[in-house]
Chain A
């Protein structure tokens, strides 16, 4: 009782200083920040009802600030964040507002389905998808003329270009990082949770790992211990012909390297293309906000063709709005179109609160596996046991 009273008190204190404006927290910098502020300016000119103001918060501080400030009524009305923390925020309560009530069918349909799925937690939509990121194939045009589209082609090309003695590899990606491995896992129909129960050691997951080990040990097309720094330097030295990575990698490529993008290849053994995990940045309305309807109008504008289009053109974001890809300049953009194509073969990264518990056992499993001390089955059994234990300690019946 006293706790609610206390938080009520804070709300009251907060409301004394609140003005009739909509506050948006984001973590954008550079071009993205300029573009987003432009978007907000535009919105402020289109309607007189409310003034939207933005606050840039450093990325690594944003999630914690939201967790701490929002439930106590000290946070913004709207914030922008990826879906990975969504489950935790819903579970701890008083943070994000469900949007099902506002959401009309045409709005629902205006987004690329995977991106909206990322914003959905236990059948409720909590945010409007703004943009997305995932990994694709990035290749060195000097070494590869036509990017491989199937796993057979991939292995043949990669083997030709691999010279371990010279430190040169046909393919380099952080395959021991579970986020990157997920592309293969999803191709085999695997997943880390099934109906919110852990399923790390499911049969498709083991098949996917066996397949990865074939690339690593038999075909020998991958470097050992592939850290991000290593992959970047290999690619920039022209020693890695192909890299699986996301938009964040493009900025790391040195100007001398002529690179191209292509969707991830089709895995014949899995009868499916590689399906990477998509992280989606969404716009969320906070639960204690006093301007929820205005906030919804704003996020609807921002994620619309106009808003997200501006972010795509001026900040090179990959918009979650489907209609934008009909427009000529976007449709013909070589980078955007590859990512758009890849989105059709992709899976939204789970947004369960328990995902954070998955990383540590999964990473350990990937390490023991790449080291060769455990078979895929052993490694994943151990990881599954750890995850089940951790979740069991957290979830408790009443």
Chain B
């Protein structure tokens, strides 16, 4: 156990570490938001410049005044941040303008400029896609970030079609960090010092009841420290961010003035835009805080350090404090040291598990909180984070039945329908598997049964054949016109059954196939169990006058329990996730009605390409099995105790 007297030193160390972590995290979050703001402002300024240029170029090209391109662009180049400007016309891959090129323009692009051409082409198809789909889904302006530079590619549009692009490279000013690491260390040291002082004043704890005192003190100090730190530094953060957003509308205004001036100088018949078309997002929608002349019309959005992040930082620090301050750290180090060899031996296994099991699993967990689809696999999880949305969509969708003119219609896509089917599927299959297996085992266990070995081999065969082959054979047997089963029905004068047309009959095709596959396992388990039952018990029972049923009920079944329960537990998990049979035999027909959860998850991921949603679906399956597993452990413990 933790020794009470030595708690003040661990608490001091814990507080120091906790303060470093919490403040470090706050500083990181703060810098992150600041960086994001500064970056966003820089991107907006670059977009404004590129769009202003493109607006002029479009006008010039429309009026067939291509020769004025250079005159138009030159004044813009005086801006120190604008480093290179290129203009491309897609038809014929013509480079119309490049401020670095001395050779005669226009010319066809060189082979090593293919990327530029592809970029313009991408803008073209993005715009077309967005129009066709009626959605703003793809970027209509491309921004790439380089170290200290930004590249913007803005489309040149004529009659709603992209005919070329304006490409600009701009220098960016490195972002100002908010706080230095030194400040964090300074605050942490102050906290540690305070702890020492206050602790000395309050005195050593004298009884076990007051063991929490140093820890409580450290926790309180941590909380105060976080509060003070944030309050003192929030203002600095805000002013930095304000500066960033101010720069945007300054840029807009200067671009606007430049535009008007340029038009006057060249004597062009061009009007400055009547609405804001320059300060836009990546799908060319106005951001909406500036008007056509660049005046601020609504305040810039500013969120600052979110309260949630602050709580997160504090909790992270506090966990460290608990870990170190309450002595858990010491204990961990001690066990690691004492059982050094043991940890060494299991480390390869741990490593393999990390790579092969935990990483994919955690990746799945991560994916389930995102809106990952085929369209955004290149984005980082934080960009497509949607929290619990997927789970909400799965679990809170109760649209199982809808009333239509034809009566009630079941929505087979609903999670609860599929869950119900899966549970029914599992229960019925396990029931049939166990019953058939048990009956066959009892028959095979008969003494002096002729050809017992041969039968045993035959009965194990379904298990030995790969299950997808069996599944495909059964699917063929259920064929409406030519399947064996319908042929037999017809032989006896019955009507052929369209197996995959009805929900129930389609469900039963799967059940039959799976029962066929699962009874050998149960049979083998039961046989093993039966052979372990001592014949003395039966003899004694017979002497007492027990009937055959009584022998079965009170000797055979209880003795089999020890093998049957684990076997059932395992086969429940297997059946619950029995992908092959459903996928290959009924394929969910009709209309996805007989789909089970795992096949549904597959369809969501690989037919609908909704990876995030499918991951959430899998997580739900995992949790169902986890709950089941929990009860299973309890039940098996109970049987162990019984035996």
Contact = CB atoms under 8 A, between A and B. Distances in A.
Interface string B598-614: 00000100111110010
Contacts of A93: 377-378
Interface size class of B (residues with CB under 8 A): 35 or more
B69 interface: no
A240 B603 CA distance: 35
Contacts of A390: 608
Contacts of B498: 371
Given A3-B380, A367-B590, A394 B121 contact: no
Nearest to A224: B481
A100 B44 CA distance: 31
Contacts of B479: 225, 227, 230
B2 to A, nearest CB: 39
Nearest to B118: A98
Given A123-B128, A225-B481, A227-B479, A91 B375 contact: yes
B133 A395 contact: yes
A228 to B, nearest CB: 11
Contacts of B373: 394, 396
Interface stretch (B109-117, B184-192, B511-519): B109-117
Interface stretch (A135-143, A267-275, A353-361): A353-361
Interface string A113-125: 0000000011110
A357 B609 CA distance: 9
Contacts of B136: 397-398
Contacts of B378: 3, 71, 92-94
Interface size class of A (residues with CB under 8 A): 35 or more
A110 B592 CA distance: 45
A397 B371 CA distance: 12
B609 A398 contact: no
A300 to B, nearest CB: 14
Nearest to A194: B132
Nearest to B93: A101
A196 B374 contact: no
Contact of B128 (A1, A122, A293, A360): A122
Nearest to B131: A195
Contact of A293 (B111, B380, B589): B111
Contact of B371 (A230, A292, A396): A396
Interface string A357-388: 10110001001100101000000000000000
Contacts of B609: 88, 353, 356-357, 394
Contact of B374 (A2, A88, A124, A398): A88
A196 B132 contact: yes
Contact of B476 (A100, A229, A364, A367): A229
B591 interface: yes
Nearest to B375: A91
B608 A101 contact: no
Nearest to A1: B380
Nearest to A98: B118
A328 interface: no
B30 to A, nearest CB: 18
B125 interface: yes
A371 B502 CA distance: 11
Interface string B368-391: 000101110110100000000000
A368 B374 contact: no
A393 B93 CA distance: 37
A391 B610 CA distance: 10
A357 B608 contact: yes
A394 B590 contact: no
B501 interface: yes
B93 A360 contact: no
A265 interface: no
Nearest to B589: A367
Given A2-B380, A122-B128, A230 B135 contact: no
A240 to B, nearest CB: 13
Contacts of B591: 364, 368
Interface string B126-144: 0011001111110100000
A101 B94 CA distance: 11
A397 B136 CA distance: 5
Given A88-B374, A359-B607, A360-B603, A197 B118 contact: no
Contacts of B610: 393-394
A76 interface: no
Interface in B594-639: 603, 606-610, 613
Contacts of A97: 118
Contacts of B128: 122-123
A124 B125 contact: yes
Contacts of A92: 374-375, 377-378
Nearest to B479: A225
A100 B109 CA distance: 13
B129 A122 contact: yes
B163 interface: no
B365 interface: no
A292 B114 CA distance: 10
Interface in B15-57: none
A101 B481 contact: no
Contacts of B606: 356
A372 to B, nearest CB: 10
Given A88-B609, A367-B590, A98 B111 contact: no
Nearest to B138: A398
B83 interface: no
A368 B135 CA distance: 33
Contacts of B361: none
Interface string B274-288: 000000011100000
A289 to B, nearest CB: 12
A398 B137 contact: yes
B135 A395 contact: yes
B117 A197 contact: no
A373 B500 CA distance: 13
A176 B114 CA distance: 45
A388 to B, nearest CB: 12
Interface string B335-379: 000000000000000000000000000000000000101110110
B147 to A, nearest CB: 12
Contacts of B476: 229
B38 to A, nearest CB: 15
B638 to A, nearest CB: 44
A225 B500 CA distance: 11
A3 B603 CA distance: 27
B133 A396 contact: no
B482 interface: yes
Given A91-B374, A367-B589, A393 B135 contact: no
A227 B608 CA distance: 25
B213 interface: no
Interface in A42-58: none
B613 to A, nearest CB: 8
A204 interface: no
A97 B610 CA distance: 24
Nearest to A373: B501
Contacts of A357: 607-609
A196 B607 contact: no
Contacts of B380: 1-3
Nearest to A223: B481
A353 B281 CA distance: 26
Interface string B86-109: 000000010000000000000001
10 contacts: A92-B377, A93-B377, A93-B378, A100-B118, A121-B125, A227-B479, A357-B607, A357-B609, A394-B375, A398-B283
Given A100-B118, A360-B607, 15 more contacts: A71-B378, A91-B374, A91-B375, A100-B117, A122-B129, A124-B125, A197-B132, A359-B607, A364-B591, A367-B500, A367-B590, A368-B591, A396-B371, A398-B139, A398-B282
The 6 closest A-B pairs by CB, nearest first: A122-B125, A225-B480, A196-B132, A397-B135, A101-B114, A101-B117
